Chains A and B, each alone.
Chain A
Amino acid sequence: MATGSGAAAAAADAEEKESGSRMITLTSNEGKAFVVTEASARQSATIRSMVDDGGCVDKGFPLPNVDSKTLARVIQYCDEHGNKEAHTVDERAALAKFDKDFIAELDADKAFLYDVTMAANYLHIQGLFALTTQCIADTIKGKTPEEIRTAFGIEYDLTAQDEEEIKEEDTHA
């Protein structure tokens, strides 16, 4: 709105709202508000259904299970996939490259990868959830159970008897 007055800008906003390209506010559990396009927010099936149910778009959506750092990263993904077209080969290649870089960065920080996976699960962001779970699966492949526990900080809670049972079952499987 380079030349528009305040009133004109407000009118334009109202018009934009009518046409469906609304802005949606997502609030992290730390109370930080993130304003995203509706197209971006619709990457989340959870938010999509709330918007379609005529939910309180104006009041925004508080996300009590997601912290600011995680939400910012999730929005980065949603913006890329929600706001960009994926019709041509080039466009799709650009998105694939984005995904590759996005997950490579997360892979380096396992705790953060966990947070993003949890958020994608909670928000039902199909593409992101597939991306993070595949990344975790790739990490697991080729590792022994011991190596997996170390890599993911998992506590060993099987009793000797449990372990024996599992090995027993495996030999009969």
Chain B
Amino acid sequence: MEEEEEETAGFGELPANALEEILVRIPASARRRLRLVCRHWRDVVDDRTPERRSRAKTLVYVSRPAGAAAYVLDDDDLVEGRRCRELWSSSSAAAAAAAANPDRRFRFRMVGTLNGLLCLYEELAGETPLHIRGPAGNRLDPAALSFAYLETTGQYKIVHLRHLNISLAAQVLTVGEGASWRNVPAPAGTSCSLYSGIANVGGATYWISKDTNMLMSFDLTDERFARATPLPAASPAPDWLAVNCLKEVGGGCGGGMVGIVAYASGWCGLEMWVLERGGGGWRLDRKKTRWRWRRRFSVPPRVGPHDLVGLRFGHGHGHGENVLTKLFGDSTPWCVSGGGARRAQCQCSVVCIDPHRSFVQTFSYVETTEGKLF
């Protein structure tokens, strides 16, 4: 972990979450003017204070033998028993095909969502609905796929992290450019724990190494393997880690952060850590960046044993950050929301997403019409 520079730092170097807490106490119009104080303040106002944030919502993707559907939770302040809005569902034709072929349980997988677009993978065909074939000679592993958007160039890319014998390679495809995959071998020893998820934010893909010690990254602009950051030391050592993007970039606003959930199974609760880039913001052209881990919140053990499904961060003043979990067995998914500095207590509420046994994923969904593909 990088040395923290707080010993000698003054108010200009307040950690982003503390500065955010201060700035949200100032009226929005005055706050915008505070962007002229220094870079750090500008970045915090741009990236973390309410009116600049994209209106990201939680998208829950449910897949079951009869078909798949994506739902949106319209309100971050979850209300018990609240219903979700269906955004998409696999066609009845697809459902009929699945019914005729009962062995095939989960026909669709969702890869990601960006700027209002959903990227789905269809297992039967081994293709995405955009009819992009996998790289020649290998089948795509849906768990290794991720969907990224480069703000600087407006390109959408699909990244497939593939283990070839013992080494890792990134296979990259730019959507709409003749569908040719580029293969980028990783330096020796690079690995990927697919169970922990893959996140795309700020022009890079992030994942956790197999030994669960490092947060790895891949620069999507230069298409090369980039920085590896040690994960925060958690005590007790978590059984399971999940990486996800917090606050996806939407419609040209701000940036995002990489969030890590350290998860100890059973009754031990879970912790959410965030990797923050201090000073330089999330734009790629700024070199002067410092990185540090912050603990955003922990979910108390009393909530019960969870089967972690996913996480996302909420947005806006007074909104919390949600971790979607599922109690062991075939129960309804839970949504746990915590609130960094703003909420003293983690709140738990049950949101009925799907009563059937299903495969559930969560994503940050930005409702916008700006995401025109072609």
B164 within 8 A of A: no
Please determine whether B36 and A52 come into contact, CB atoms closer than 8 angstroms: no
Residues of B within 8 A of A153 (CB): 10-12
CB within 8 Å of A: which B1-27 residues: 4, 6, 10-12, 14-15, 17-18, 21-23, 25-26
Please determine whether B39 and A162 come into contact, CB atoms closer than 8 angstroms: yes
Residues of A within 8 A of B4 (CB): 65
- Distance in Å from the Cβ of A68 to the closest Cβ of chain B? 15
Please determine whether A140 and B38 come into contact, CB atoms closer than 8 angstroms: no
Kindly list the 7 A-B residue pairs having the minimum CB-CB distance in the complex, ordered from nearest: A152-B11, A154-B12, A137-B25, A145-B36, A153-B10, A133-B21, A126-B344
Residues of B within 8 A of A21 (CB): none
Residues of A within 8 A of B36 (CB): 145, 158, 163, 166-167
Which of A140, A153, A173 counts the most B-chain CB atoms under 10 A from its CB?
A: A140
Contact A157:B21 (CB < 8 A) given known A49-B300, A121-B341, A141-B26:
no
- Distance in Å from the Cβ of B365 to the closest Cβ of chain A? 25
- Distance in Å from the Cβ of B311 to the closest Cβ of chain A? 18
Query: 14 A-B pairs, CB-CB below 8 angstroms?
Result: A53-B269, A53-B301, A114-B10, A114-B11, A114-B14, A129-B341, A133-B18, A133-B21, A137-B25, A145-B36, A149-B37, A152-B10, A153-B12, A154-B38
- Distance in Å from the Cβ of A74 to the closest Cβ of chain B? 15
Which residues of A come within 8 Å of B, CB atoms?
45-46, 49, 52-53, 65, 110-111, 114, 117-118, 121, 126, 129-130, 133-134, 136-137, 140-141, 145, 148-149, 152-158, 162-163, 166-167, 170, 173
Q: Which of B14, B26, B38 contacts A149 (CB 8 A)?
A: B38
Write the B29-72 contact mask toward A (1 if CB under 8 angstroms, else 0): 01011111111011000000000000000000000000000000
Contact A158:B42 (CB < 8 A) given known A121-B15, A126-B344, A152-B12:
yes
Residues of A within 8 A of B89 (CB): none
Residues of B within 8 A of A133 (CB): 18, 21-22, 25, 341
Complex: chain B residue closest to A159, CB-CB: B39
Contact A157:B344 (CB < 8 A) given known A118-B18, A141-B30:
no
- Distance in Å from the Cβ of B244 to the closest Cβ of chain A? 22
